[in-house]
Amino acid sequence: MSFETISVIGLGYIGLPTAAVFASRKKKVIGVDVNQKAVDTINRGEIHIVEPDLDMVVHAAVTEGYLRATTAPEAADAFLIAVPTPFKGDHEPDLSYIESASKAIAPVLKTGDLVILESTSPVGATEKMAAWLAAARSDLTFPQSHGSESDIRIAHCPERVLPGHVLRELVQNDRVIGGMTQRCSEAAVALYKTFVEGECIVTNARTAEMCKLTENSFRDVNIAFANELSVICDKLNINVWELIELANRHPRVNILQPGPGVGGHCIAVDPWFIVSETPEHARLIKTARNVNDSKPAWVIEKVEQAVSFRKKNFGEQDLTIACFGLAFKPNIDDLRESPSVDILTQLSRRKLGKIICIEPHIASLPENLRAHCELVSLDDGLIAADIVLLLVDHSVFRAKEVDLTGKTVIDTKGIWV
């Protein structure tokens, strides 16, 4: 099976690196995105997202002529759909981007083409995608009606890469390949073998969908355990970090780290796709989500208590609250879906004092945060702070020798306590 031309639909955090890696293996790649600005940026050999080294790979792919972006789908031998799958207000998955992408590529499909859904999806989404494609192209046959003999092959192959390490993990991670038929899986394996050095393990589409949701739910449940422990330990006056370190010395215990909440675009979203399908049975998964989602409110309460304590006992009025770290996790500059941003915004609304923030990974604050606080350097933040609120365990914070005399410290990551 040879795939001369590969089309990637959705040029975001997963689609663009995937397109670039195929192109770096000298495949002709057509990237498709509805965002004209993103398309123009990529065609200039630049990138619109933040991911280490991606700029170089995209620049090389575009200048060597292997990668080209467009807003209108064109014929290809394989199509990878990597569009967002957010949830709606009630935590129900929103498949509208997959539906639009399917309807957009349907007119250019031809016999022998492979369509892969890469977006993290609720169980059954690949079958829905197949149905949308079939409805649009009655002249072609699909696996749901014609099995292995179908004109079009369809599979779900979820991405599992860690933001910040995408280019390495795309190549090295094992890949779960869930074809709608054996032949679909074989085609998908052949495609991924272009660059995947990990194993390509074959299963069916529903299991592949559930596998991705399970991986992120597993992590979410384990982080919730750590977060719950941190709240319990605070009540019992026990240092949770010491506790976890001790417990983890047991050969079969491996507790994760508590924090200000769970951010990012995956772990806080994907477990809901299981809950919404099986609400009566996904009790633990749902509780874990709620435990993690309630952690920012707990942190805010701690700050409120600290402010009233200082006002009452020291008569201080103009307190400065310094928030250390805004990114959704350490050593990255990605502020999207960050619990720290949520905490900072809510603190400023409560008018508890002057809010300043320290985020060494960004040069300036995004527009929506400028009204709430000022971005200062690590040293200036440490000098100005009455209340030190540590929200992200960036390496630069860990490495800093800090003198916190006279300050109230709320350390959600346990590095300065």
Give the catalytic positions in this structure. Answer: 212, 266
CB of 403 to ligand SAJ, least distance (A): 26
Name the residue number minimizing CB distance to ligand SAJ. 266
Which residue from 25, 26, 22 is spatially nearest to 116, judged by alpha carbons?
22
Q: What is the token pair recorded at 375?
A: 């971005």
CB of 220 to ligand SAJ, least distance (A): 8
CB of 68 to ligand SAJ, least distance (A): 26
Question: Can you give the binding site for ligand SAJ, defined by CB under 6 A?
Answer: 120, 159-163, 215-216, 219, 223, 256-257, 259, 262-264, 266-267, 328-329
CB of 263 to ligand SAJ, least distance (A): 4
Identify which of residues 152 and 161 has a Cβ nearer to ligand SAJ in the complex. 161
Identify which of residues 66 and 273 has a Cβ nearer to ligand SAJ in the complex. 273
Identify which of residues 150 and 216 has a Cβ nearer to ligand SAJ in the complex. 216
CB 136 within 8 A of CB 95: no
Identify which of residues 272 and 328 has a Cβ nearer to ligand SAJ in the complex. 328
Q: What is the token pair recorded at 158?
A: 């979820």
CB of 290 to ligand SAJ, least distance (A): 15
Identify which of residues 27 and 295 has a Cβ nearer to ligand SAJ in the complex. 295
**Which residues does 393 contact at the CB level (< 8 Å), separation at least 6?**
257, 259, 325, 330, 413, 414, 415
CB of 166 to ligand SAJ, least distance (A): 9
Identify which of residues 73 and 158 has a Cβ nearer to ligand SAJ in the complex. 158
